[in-house]
Amino acid sequence: MATLYVSTGGANTNSGCTDVAAGHASIISGSAATNVGTVVTLDGSPDLSGLITSGATQSSINLSGATNANKKIFWISAFDDTANTVTVDTAPTGTLGAWKIGGQWTVPASTGMSTIDAATTFRAGDTIIFNDSPVSASQDFFTARADGTGTAGPITIKGKTGVRPVITVTSVDQCFEPGNFDLWRFENLEFAQTGASGTVIMGGDTATAHTYYNIKISDGGGAGINIQTSHSRVLMSEISGVGGDGILLNNNASFGLFYGNYIHDVGGDGIDGSANGMHSTLINNIIDSATGRGIYLGGSYTSATNFITINGNTVYGCGDSGLEIADTDAMMTLTNNIFSQNGNAAGRYNVEWTAGTAQIISLHGWNVFYHSGGGGGANLLNLTVNAQVASSEFTTDPEFTNAAGGDFSISSTSPAKAAGFPGTFLGGSTGYLDIGAVQRQESSGGGGIAGYGYTA
């Protein structure tokens, strides 16, 4: 596995193999042979003792200036720490004396990584770390050319610890175009796309199992993330400022996990499952002030196995429904959620369900549904409070601390306090979990601290 550091303070003549801008050891000898197994000598007496020469964690070096087609990272198959030599898997054919190891790499202006050879040489387990924000690109910034794997791990693109570099695209193109490649992971980065339309992060037709962890999407013409296949995850991220949906579950999107996200001020729905979204799980998300719905599930759910879990979310202030279920076959568990003040126009509802199905094929309980009646909207359509679990649901104000300022903690007198499931488990009246995405963090008397059933 390789780690490549990218920095505006680096240079394209560096390899990017260490997080130090100044060049380290240079390759000073080595034949221009074209045979696999070329031995190259390193100057500066580098410590090679930690190198791994086989398997999923195999070490690598980047030979700047080498011209092997689409391959500037070379995997190390053997080394001699005394002679300061390493044996690489494929012989470099670049100019002798120009190859270097060490230092940071930079992304050339106005291209992004889709046109750089390195983008085609990443392999499963590789990590690319941005030390700071690269220059903006006028086309797709990242284009996947290889899969991550379950054995070696994903291909990871991340920001350096302590900073949050911004990846900016100045057109209708994407910050990430996965093509048909699986298992990429993005972490600790911000994404902005300034187009009139176009998705910020696109899903490939068959690309599965992508992870977006602790990222921020702050600008975009279309959807924030367009997920088109299965097993992708959006975790503890913030999505706002996009013209379309926050997360769009499109085509064959299924088995997704959306956990702990703050999705707000988007031009479409917060999470749009109008095309699909089967078997997905939505936990502890805050969806706030979406122009459209908070959560919309309208895909063609034709099987009784298309179960969806919606637990512990707070959905507030969306222009259309906080939750809208448009398909009669949609089966779900709807627990521990707060839906408040969504649906602010005639014919819109805080929660809207397909006639009769909420109480027939889905489970709902331990929720707060509140609508003050203002703005022309109403609270519930086709859902009867407490129809399945007596006295577990409320239609009174959850009493957020400062919803307009993004603070969705609840007051000490909120009906959501200590009213979630499980309480004393299976029918007990004393709860430890607060309903909604944000817990009060009280040490006793309700208000869970850090997980189900935990009290200090």
Identify residues 269-308 at the interface with other proteins (CB under 8 A).
Answer: 274, 286, 288-289, 291, 298
Figure out which of the listed residues 165, 178, 294, 448 binds other proteins, where binding follows CB under 8 A. Answer: 165
Q: Is there binding between residue 245 and other proteins (CB under 8 A)?
A: yes
243 binds other proteins (CB under 8 A): yes
Stretch that binds other proteins, among 25-33, 48-56, 89-97, 353-361 (CB under 8 A): 353-361
CB neighbours of residue 164 within 10 Å: 15
Cα separation of 422 and 448, whole Å? 11
Q: Does 346 bind other proteins (CB under 8 A)?
A: yes
User: Which of 15, 342, 392, 409 touches other proteins (CB under 8 A)?
Assistant: 409
* 9 scored as a contact of other proteins (CB under 8 A): yes
378 binds other proteins (CB under 8 A): yes
Judged by CB under 8 A, does residue 108 bind other proteins? no
State the Cα–Cα distance between residues 429 and 421, nearest whole angstrom: 10
State the nearest-atom distance from the C-beta of 74 to other proteins, in Å: 28
Quickly count: other Cβ atoms within 10 Å of residue 120's Cβ: 17
Instruction: For other proteins, give the closer residue by CB, 90 or 218.
Output: 218
Residue among 148 and 222 whose Cβ is closer to other proteins = 222
Length of the chain: 456
**Minimum CB distance to other proteins smaller for 80 or for 407:** 407
**48-87 positions binding other proteins, by CB under 8 A:** none
Q: Give the footprint of other proteins on residues 122-151 (CB under 8 A).
A: 132-136
Pick the piece of the chain touching other proteins (CB under 8 A) from 23-31, 46-54, 166-174, 415-423.
166-174
Q: With binding defined as CB under 8 A, does residue 179 bind other proteins? A: no
Task: Single out the segment in contact with other proteins by CB under 8 A; choices: 39-47, 57-65, 76-84, 380-388.
Answer: 380-388
Q: Which two tokens stand for residue 173?
A: 């193109």
CB of 381 to other proteins, least distance (A): 6
Cα-trace Rg, the chain: 26
Among positions 408, 418, 421, 434, the unique one binding other proteins when judged by CB under 8 A: 408
Q: Does 356 bind other proteins (CB under 8 A)?
A: yes
The residue among 59 and 409 lying less far from other proteins, judged by its C-beta, is 409
Which of residues 25, 51, 116, 326 is near other proteins by CB under 8 A?
326
180-239: which residues touch other proteins (CB under 8 A)?
Answer: 190, 192, 194-199, 218-219, 221-223, 226, 238
Total residues contacting other proteins (rule CB under 8 A)? Answer: 72
Taking CB under 8 A as the criterion, the residue among 77, 90, 170, 206 binding other proteins is 170
Among 17, 146, 315, 381, the residue binding other proteins under the rule CB under 8 A is 381
- Identity of the residue, 288 or 399, whose beta carbon is nearer to other proteins in the bound complex: 288
The only residue of 24, 71, 145, 164 in contact with other proteins, by rule CB under 8 A: 164
| Minimum distance, C-beta of residue 121 to other proteins, in the bound complex (Å) | 24
**In Å, what is the CA distance from 65 to each residue of 43, 74, 96, 100, 381?**
17, 12, 9, 8, 65
What minimum distance in Å lies between the beta carbon of 120 and other proteins? 24
Amino acid at the residue 185: R
- Shortest reach from residue 296's CB to other proteins, in Å: 9
Burial label for 20, CB within 10 Å (0-12, 13-18, 19+), is middle
Q: Which residues contact 340 (CB under 8 A, 6 or more apart)?
A: 314, 315, 316, 317, 322, 350, 368, 369, 370, 371, 397, 398, 400, 403
Tell me whether residue 152 or residue 227 sits nearer to other proteins (CB atom): 227
**Smallest gap from residue 218 Cβ to other proteins (A):** 6
CB neighbours of residue 426 within 10 Å: 7
Of 37, 150, 376, 445, the one binding other proteins (CB under 8 A) is 376
For residues 6 and 17, give the distance between their C-alpha atoms in angstroms, rounded to a whole number.
9
DSSP output for 57-76 = T--EEE-TT--STT--EEEE
* 404: CB partners within 8 A, 6+ apart: none
Q: Cα(347)–Cα(261) distance, rounded to whole angstroms?
A: 28
Q: Give 230's contacts (C-beta < 8 A, 6+ positions apart).
A: 208, 209, 252, 253, 254, 255, 256
Q: How many CB atoms lie within 10 A of CB 55?
A: 9
> Hey, what are 193's tokens?
């796309």
Is 165 or 420 the residue whose CB approaches other proteins more closely?
Answer: 165
Smallest distance from other proteins to CB 409, Å: 4
| Contact of 334 with 364, CB cutoff 8 Å | yes
Give the DSSP letter string of 75-114: EEEEEETTTTEEEESS---S-TT--B--S-B-PPTTT-GG
